Chains A and B, each alone.
Chain A
Amino acid sequence: MTVPTEVHPLAIEPGAPTDPVFVGVGEIPSGRYPDRTFIQSLTQVAVRALRDARMKPADIDTILLIPNLHSADQQADLVFSRMVEELGLNGRAKASFMIHSGGSTSDNAVRVASGLISSGHARNVLVLQAECWGSADLTEMVTMLSYNGIPAQWERPSGLHFNAIGALITQRYMAETGSTPEDMAGVCVALRKWARLNPNAMYRDKDLTVEQVLGSRMISDPLHAMECPMLADGGVGFVMTTHEDAQRRGQDSVRIVGSGGCVSHYSIGQETNLATLGWKTAAERAYAQSGWGPESADFVEIYDSYAAVTTIALEGLGFCKPGEGARWVSSGATGPGGELPMNTNGGLLSAGHTGVGGGTALLAEGVRQLLGRAEPERQVAKHDRALVGGSGGSYMDSQVLLLEHVRTGN
């Protein structure tokens, strides 16, 4: 299915006073932290993001919440403004609410925050996310992952679950591209190399080889255990404000050059292009809006809960030849020192799958890298432009954000 791309420029000019920009990120380590509570995690990422943005809680007028999946009860705390109270913003905050589209929530949260800021409905927006998947009851989480995003009437009765969804995509991708099990395992290995440089990554201390991946147990053919993401605790926050405000504070910032998206399906059984998904359409829309092409980005951060969902995105976005994604990543092209650094935090597969937060962590890493604030051994050399890609549910959507570093005085 080819969907025509309309050129639909952003309504805001670069450098306009109300151009929305990122000015700070905060993160806590991903992994298993059973002693770290949910609200504590959210508070920590809020405090760190505000410190990075050189703001105080009282500067924030709007809080956007990215949902957790480990507990509906605790998610209700977010919906009903607990973080306003935790941060001492009773009476000061104008609005606090949740945005949700699963793994692509962060991309949509940025769109919402941008609209609020550029229209004047908000001035300084704090976006918060935390997840306790790593410490939650595994059986409950597996059951939840076989319910959410899977139609109760048509697919749940067959016993579908999330690893099987990843496997259905991977199987078709391997068949269409001739990618071997070694090629697919090589993607996981490439991600691990970045994770080894990220102090917040779940697998920061463990090397990984193709032999180890292919030697791990078969979970859902063709996916081995080490090709399935590990559920993790973690949290990320970020602050967005106006270009004018960032300049007044003398801060470097990150602006949004454009975005593109494609919601290609709800049920995995109704995706007609299992080996390409919506990425080509999303890319065309993002590039049409921004004037960018695949050559524009210095580095990329793309949702990677399974190797194939990332290589499909790389191909659709035009970073490598169609069908070559897995071989290209396995060759080291996207690893430390490679031609196109990708998922420089280790991605969901090696930094940890923090639920809806996996995509948020990639976005925050993109902003951090653009601002030049990653640890020296992980910081990419050229950090002017980045592409962030997200996907939610059963890879129902393909979301693209194009981000650009704005230096003070520009």
Chain B
Amino acid sequence: MADTLTGDYRTGLGRGELVVQKCTECARLNMYPRYACPFCQSEELGWQKVSGKGVLLSFTVSRIGAPLGFGDELPYALAVVKLEEGVQLLGRLEADADGDWHGYSCDDPVEFVPEGATGDEARPIAWFRRRG
């Protein structure tokens, strides 16, 4: 169910781009997208493609107990990522080659995975993976 906020964000994910909301008046970025700029209250808001580079503020591997509809995906990792542009968001974290996430630590550099949400069946979420 897309609305005026989620539509452009999800369309961006679908073409492999991470976009964040940008105020057309004060030019500041904000996440999550809002109906009015939290800095200047302008309702004229657009979008900016971001680098996708960031650091892992925190992460967790959900192993037992998932919301309805997510049970088949266990285990999966959730991450709070701070982008180098300054805004942050919750997304999914790719496992390492061993299929687990034991190698990750807080503050690790990560990057957006462009192909993470491009399939027809993909959930509209940002995926991240280890960087550098």
Known: A153-B5, A164-B78. A175 touches B106 (CB 8 A): yes
Per-position binary interface string of chain A over residues 251-282, scored 1 when its CB falls under 8 Å from any chain B CB and 0 otherwise? 00000000000000001111110100000000
Q: Which residues of A contact B15 (CB under 8 A)?
A: none
Point out the residue from B68, B80, B88 that lies within 8 Å of A143, measured CB to CB.
B68
Say yes or no: B60 contacts A167, CB within 8 Å: yes
Cβ of A305 < 8 Å from any Cβ of B? Answer: no
Say yes or no: A270 contacts B88, CB within 8 Å: yes
Cβ of B124 < 8 Å from any Cβ of A? Answer: yes
Closest to A174 in B: B106
Q: How far is the CA of A155 from the CA of B88 in the complex (A)?
A: 12
Cβ of B6 < 8 Å from any Cβ of A? Answer: yes
Q: How far is the CA of A269 from the CA of B106 in the complex (A)?
A: 14
Closest to A156 in B: B67
Q: Which residues of B contact A219 (CB under 8 A)?
A: 62-65
Say yes or no: B60 contacts A161, CB within 8 Å: no
Say yes or no: B90 contacts A155, CB within 8 Å: yes
Q: Which residues of B contact A267 (CB under 8 A)?
A: 32, 90
Q: Which residues of A contact B105 (CB under 8 A)?
A: 175
Q: How far is the CA of A118 from the CA of B88 in the complex (A)?
A: 43
Say yes or no: A142 contacts B67, CB within 8 Å: yes
Say yes or no: A168 contacts B80, CB within 8 Å: yes
Say yes or no: B58 contacts A157, CB within 8 Å: no
| Chain A 155-176 residues near chain B, CB threshold 8 A | 155-161, 163-164, 167-169, 171-172, 175-176
Known: A159-B76, A160-B78, A269-B32. A142 touches B90 (CB 8 A): no
Say yes or no: B78 contacts A172, CB within 8 Å: no
Say yes or no: B65 contacts A270, CB within 8 Å: no
Say yes or no: A157 contacts B125, CB within 8 Å: yes
Chain B interface extent, by class: 20 to 34
Say yes or no: A158 contacts B60, CB within 8 Å: no
Q: Which residues of A contact B62 (CB under 8 A)?
A: 159, 161, 163-164, 167, 219-220
What is the minimal beta-carbon distance from A72 to any residue of chain B, in angstroms? 17
Q: How far is the CA of A147 from the CA of B67 in the complex (A)?
A: 9
Q: How far is the CA of A222 from the CA of B73 in the complex (A)?
A: 19
Cβ of A221 < 8 Å from any Cβ of B? Answer: yes
Say yes or no: B106 contacts A158, CB within 8 Å: no
Known: A146-B67, A171-B106. A153 touches B6 (CB 8 A): yes
Q: Which residues of B contact A268 (CB under 8 A)?
A: 80, 90
For B62, B63, B70, the residue with the greatest tally of chain A CB atoms inside 10 Å of its CB is B62
Say yes or no: A151 contacts B125, CB within 8 Å: no
Cβ of B50 < 8 Å from any Cβ of A? Answer: no
Cβ of A218 < 8 Å from any Cβ of B? Answer: yes
What is the minimal beta-carbon distance from A165 to any residue of chain B, in angstroms? 9
Cβ of B129 < 8 Å from any Cβ of A? Answer: no
Known: A153-B32, A268-B80. A143 touches B67 (CB 8 A): yes
Q: Which residues of A contact B60 (CB under 8 A)?
A: 164, 167-168, 171, 220-223
Per-position binary interface string of chain A over residues 118-162, scored 1 when its CB falls under 8 Å from any chain B CB and 0 otherwise? 000000000000000000000100110011000101111111110
Say yes or no: B66 contacts A158, CB within 8 Å: no
Cβ of B123 < 8 Å from any Cβ of A? Answer: yes
Known: A139-B68, A154-B90, A155-B90. A172 touches B123 (CB 8 A): no
Point out the residue from B31, B63, B66, B106 that lies within 8 Å of A159, measured CB to CB.
B66
Closest to A175 in B: B106
What is the minimal beta-carbon distance from B98 to any residue of chain A, in angstroms? 15
Q: Which residues of A contact B22 (CB under 8 A)?
A: none
Say yes or no: A151 contacts B32, CB within 8 Å: yes
Cβ of A407 < 8 Å from any Cβ of B? Answer: no
Point out the residue from A153, A156, A171, A225 that lies within 8 Å of B58, measured CB to CB.
A171
Residues of A within 8 A of B (CB): 139, 142-143, 146-147, 151, 153-161, 163-164, 167-169, 171-172, 175-176, 217-223, 225, 267-272, 274
Residues of B within 8 A of A (CB): 3, 5-6, 31-32, 57-68, 70, 73, 76, 78, 80, 88-92, 101, 105-107, 123-125
6 tightest Cβ-Cβ pairs between the two chains A and B: A269-B90, A146-B67, A167-B60, A175-B106, A159-B70, A172-B58
Given A172-B106, A175-B107, 18 more A-B residue pairs with CB atoms under 8 Å apart are A153-B3, A158-B125, A159-B66, A161-B66, A164-B60, A168-B60, A169-B58, A171-B106, A172-B57, A172-B58, A175-B106, A219-B63, A220-B60, A220-B61, A267-B32, A269-B32, A272-B88, A274-B57
Interchain Cβ contacts under 8 Å between A and B, 14 examples = A142-B67, A147-B67, A151-B32, A153-B32, A158-B123, A159-B66, A161-B62, A161-B65, A171-B59, A175-B105, A219-B63, A221-B101, A268-B80, A269-B32
